[in-house]
Amino acid sequence: MNKEELIEKLNELENRFYNDVEVNGMIEKLKEKFDTLFEETFTKEEVESDDFDEMGEEYYSALREDDPDNATVFQVMWFK
């Protein structure tokens, strides 16, 4: 199997993943849970503040310095 065929298989896997009903259901549940926890943690006023924006930018910058292999589900959800 050559590289192009492997890329094609990877693309097929990605498409199957994103079009899978069960996967989409789990992702939706995860998004809902994250949103619930987020709303329990931060007030609307905090989220709309400049400090929150600055904190988010600093968090993003810090993560850019990390090895992508160390990314967590939380980090992915934070930037959704």
**pLDDT digits 0-9 by tens, 50-70:** 999 999 999 999 999 889 899
Question: What is the H or E stretch that residue 18 is in?
Answer: helix 3-19
The structure's pTM equals 0.81
What is the token pair recorded at 36?
A: 């619930």
Domain spans of the chain? 3-78
Whether residue 80 has pLDDT greater than 90: no
Query: Could you tell me if 52 and 42 are in contact, meaning their C-beta atoms sit under 8 angstroms apart?
Result: yes
pLDDT tens, residue by residue, 17-45: 999 999 999 999 999 999 999 999 999 99
What is the pLDDT at residue 34? 97
What amino acid is encoded at 49 in this protein? S
What is the pLDDT at residue 14? 97
Whether residue 5 has pLDDT greater than 90: yes
Helix (H, G, I), strand (E, B) or coil at 68: helix
